[in-house]
């Protein structure tokens, strides 16, 4: 099976939709889920005296576990409905859930900069959470405008998603 056949088979598993690398509603949903998850993980894992390195390690492991479970669930769902080869189902599952990885990337990068000492620990933790809030506002705005939604509807959805991020950020204040 060449890569073109494999790509066609993966595309067919997802209704003809190309979900690779941020394309498609599945990737957008995964990115939002990844952002909400990483903000909640950072809020729960960070305390006043925590190092960005410890929070980064905890967040990476937690994000990997969340992503792996989603890939597994996607593989299970695809293999139950189709008699596709395992390799195709595995690739489809990874591609379907890549949005989660994309969603956690920037907050984790900021935590990593704190872990290696380029950014103060407290700032790295705060900035990683705030980057997630900003992305929770921008993703719906760009996605909905790209799909032809009105500015008003897109801004309302972006505001709602941003409020979710703010609520999670406030959770850190309440927890600590």
pLDDT tens for 93-112 read 888 899 999 999 999 999 99
Q: Do the domain assignments include residue 5?
A: no
Q: Do the domain assignments include residue 14?
A: no
Q: Do the domain assignments include residue 4?
A: no
How far apart (Å, rounded) are the C-alpha atoms in residues 10 and 126? 39
Q: Do the domain assignments include residue 146?
A: yes
- Which run of H or E residues covers position 47? none
pLDDT in tens, 59-73: 999 999 999 999 998
Number of Cβ atoms within 10 Å of the Cβ of 19: 23
Q: Do the domain assignments include residue 31?
A: yes
Q: Do the domain assignments include residue 141?
A: yes
Domain containing residue 169: 20-175
Nearest to 93 by CA among 105, 103, 80: 80
How far apart (Å, rounded) are the C-alpha atoms in residues 120 and 48? 13
Overall number of domains in the chain: 1
Q: Do the domain assignments include residue 171?
A: yes
Q: Do the domain assignments include residue 1?
A: no
- pLDDT score recorded for residue 152: 92
pLDDT in tens, 40-55: 899 888 876 789 999 9
Q: Which residues contact 164 (CB under 8 A, 6 or more apart)?
A: 36, 136
DSSP class of 152: H
pTM: 0.79
Task: Take residue 38 and report the two structure tokens written for it.
Answer: 């990483």
Task: Take residue 63 and report the two structure tokens written for it.
Answer: 């994000």
């Amino acid at each position: 099976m060449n890569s073109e056949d494999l790509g066609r088979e993966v595309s067919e598993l997802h209704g003809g939709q190309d979900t690779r690398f941020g394309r498609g509603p599945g990737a957008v949903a995964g990115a939002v889920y990844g952002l909400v998850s990483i903000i909640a993980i950072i809020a729960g894992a960070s305390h006043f005296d925590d190092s960005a390195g410890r929070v980064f390690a905890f967040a990476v492991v937690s994000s990997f576990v969340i992503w792996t479970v989603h890939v597994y669930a996607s593989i299970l769902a695809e293999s139950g409905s189709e008699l596709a080869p395992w390799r195709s189902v595995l690739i489809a599952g990874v591609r379907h859930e890549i949005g989660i990885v994309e969603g956690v990337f920037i907050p984790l990068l900021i935590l990593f900069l704190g872990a290696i000492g380029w950014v103060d620990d407290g700032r790295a933790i705060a900035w990683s959470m705030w980057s997630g809030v900003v992305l929770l506002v921008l993703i719906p705005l760009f996605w909905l405008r790209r799909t032809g939604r009105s500015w008003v509807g897109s801004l309302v959805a972006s505001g709602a998603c941003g409020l979710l991020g703010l609520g999670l950020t406030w959770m850190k204040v309440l927890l600590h």
